[in-house]
């Protein structure tokens, strides 16, 4: 408590720049997300030319998330050492290096490229959490986090639009090089914002508490932070299965063209971006964020059952599209609410470290989900049974979270 009192006056003395902070972090999130999911969009067309099944993109995504988990967990200490904006710049340069390696290197280096991109992707959320905790108005934190988190579906939508066009016009390798150049340019563009956006550094005692294992212990020992983190693991698992495999399912199982499948992915991400803003506002004004997360878990379970029916050939193309849009808006609509719930319980100067530790669990779902789902499909289970089994995971998480919230009423905040 004493540490929080020491830092708070400094926070109050620093002017805030809400619009600049939100727009900068939103653009970074969009670009990092587009880079991260580009392989999933291109997999149906590119993987066979490299001698791989398209489902093997799950291994690529899993390795990327493993790297993101590790780097996100260390972000608290790195923010204390370098600052939030400089770390964001380093993350973008790592994404650029990974995209460049993918474009110019031999096929054997694609997994190394996934690791580099995952390293950059892993620091984006903790650094943005530190910046927005400093600059977002207190009464609209959930909305600010939700708007910033729209960068994920908007980045995926951008990938769905740009990657097929780049494949047709430039080939996938030159498209990857163009993505790398864009990431590097965004890193340079952040330099003028450092003076205005950089949040105060924690004092030495607080910085010492940003050690990875100390942060993990803090999240695990606080009941509410623990249940939120585990819920985020299951929801991210569902989200990343959708993003990683929806194009392949539509193209390879249902016979949609790659352009049509990627176009639906792009459309679904636009809807998901709108959903994040709506759910963030609901969590700020009417329903506690935890209960918003419960409802979203139940809804994404239902939408996964819809995708199972679609993969089994039971739905018309219109209903297939409706199921995909429903899955996107729920499985990708919860993230801003999650960060808003964290911000309610964590002091501003600790947000980078705690959100990085919570993100360790979040990205754990992103790592194992595509890998297990892809291997199940490749082993012969097929998309319909795999999506039906997937529906059980967010459903169980929603029930567990509801029970925890009821039991948590008598507990003090973490």
Could you tell me the CATH superfamily of domain 15-408? MFS general substrate transporter like domains (1.20.1250.20)
Binning the chain into helix, strand and coil, the percentages to the nearest 5 are: 85, 0, 15
Q: Write down the pLDDT at residue 230.
A: 94
pLDDT at 350: 77
Query: DSSP letter string over 354-383?
Result: HHHHHHHHHHHHHHHHHHHHHHHHHTT--H
Q: What is the DSSP string of 267-299?
A: HHHHHHHHHHHHHHHHHHHTS-HHHHHHHHHHH
**What integer pLDDT is reported at residue 203 of this predicted model?**
63
Query: Tens digits of per-residue pLDDT, 29-64?
Result: 999 999 998 887 777 777 777 777 776 677 787 888
pLDDT grade, residue 412 (50/70/90)? low
With tokens 């003090």, the residue in question is 412
Structure tokens at 18: 């809400």
pLDDT, averaged across the chain: 86
Each as own residue / partner, the long-range contacts of residues 111-115 (CB below 8 Å, 24 or more positions apart, any chain) are 111/59, 111/60, 111/63, 114/39, 114/60, 114/61, 114/63, 114/64, 114/67, 115/63, 115/64, 115/66, 115/67
Continuous segment of H or E residues that includes residue 343: helix 335-345
In the prediction, which pLDDT does 8 show?
Answer: 39
- Region class of 228: left (phi > 0), else alpha (psi between -120 and 50), else beta: alpha
Segment among 173-187, 230-244, 279-293 with least mean pLDDT: 279-293
> H-helix or E-strand containing 138?
none
Terminal Cα-to-Cα distance of the chain (whole angstroms)? 12
E-strand stretches of 218-358: none
125-155: per-residue pLDDT in tens?
A: 899 988 998 898 877 777 888 889 888 888 8
Q: CA-CA distance, 330 to 205, in Å (whole number)? A: 40
Could you give the CA distance from residue 389 to residue 385 in angstroms, rounded to a whole number?
A: 6
Alpha carbon 82 to its chain's center: 23
Exposed/middle/buried for residue 15 (C-beta within 10 Å: 0-12, 13-18, 19+): exposed
Please, what's the largest Cα pairwise distance for the chain?
A: 62
CB 125 within 8 A of CB 323: no
Q: What is the pLDDT of residues 331-353, one digit of tens each?
A: 988 988 888 788 777 887 777 78
Domain ranges within the chain, ordered by starting residue: 15-408
**CB 184: neighbour CB atoms within 10 A?**
18
């Amino acid at each position: 408590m004493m540490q929080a009192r020491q830092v708070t006056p400094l926070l109050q003395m620093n002017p805030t720049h809400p619009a600049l902070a939100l727009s900068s972090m939103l653009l970074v999130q969009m670009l990092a997300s587009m880079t991260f999911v580009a392989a999933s969009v291109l997999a149906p067309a590119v993987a066979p030319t490299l001698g791989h099944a398209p489902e093997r993109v799950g291994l690529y995504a899993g390795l990327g998330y493993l790297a993101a988990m590790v780097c996100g967990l260390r972000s608290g200490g790195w923010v204390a050492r370098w600052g939030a904006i400089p770390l964001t710049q380093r993350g973008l340069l790592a994404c650029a290096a990974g995209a460049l390696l993918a474009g110019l290197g031999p096929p054997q280096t694609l997994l190394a490229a996934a690791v580099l991109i995952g390293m950059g992707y892993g620091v984006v959320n903790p650094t943005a959490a530190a910046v927005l905790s400093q600059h977002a108005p207190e009464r609209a934190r959930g909305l600010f986090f939700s708007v910033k988190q729209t960068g994920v579906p908007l980045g995926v939508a951008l990938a769905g639009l740009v990657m097929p066009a780049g494949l047709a016009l430039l080939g996938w390798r030159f498209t990857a090089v163009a993505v790398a150049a864009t990431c590097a340019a965004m890193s340079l563009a952040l330099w003028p914002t450092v003076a205005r956006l950089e949040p105060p550094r924690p004092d030495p005692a607080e910085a010492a508490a940003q050690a990875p294992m100390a942060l993990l212990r803090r999240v695990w020992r606080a009941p509410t932070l623990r249940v939120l983190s585990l819920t985020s693991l299951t929801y991210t698992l569902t989200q990343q299965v959708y993003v990683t495999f929806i194009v392949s399912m539509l193209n390879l199982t249902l016979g949609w063209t790659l352009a049509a499948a990627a176009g639906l992915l792009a459309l679904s991400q636009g809807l998901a971006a709108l959903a994040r803003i709506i759910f963030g506002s609901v969590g700020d004004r009417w329903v506690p964020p935890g209960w918003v997360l419960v409802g979203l878990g139940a809804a994404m379970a239902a939408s996964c059952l819809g995708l199972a029916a679609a993969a089994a050939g039971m739905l018309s193309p219109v209903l297939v599209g409706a199921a995909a849009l429903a899955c996107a808006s729920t499985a990708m609509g919860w993230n801003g609410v999650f960060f808003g719930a964290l911000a309610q319980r964590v002091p501003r100067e600790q947000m980078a470290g705690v959100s990085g530790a919570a993100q360790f669990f979040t990205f754990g779902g992103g790592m194992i989900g595509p890998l297990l789902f892809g291997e199940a499909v490749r082993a012969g289970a097929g998309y319909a049974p795999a999506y039906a089994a997937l529906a059980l995971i967010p459903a169980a998480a929603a029930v567990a979270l509801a029970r925890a919230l009821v039991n948590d009423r008598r507990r003090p905040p973490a």
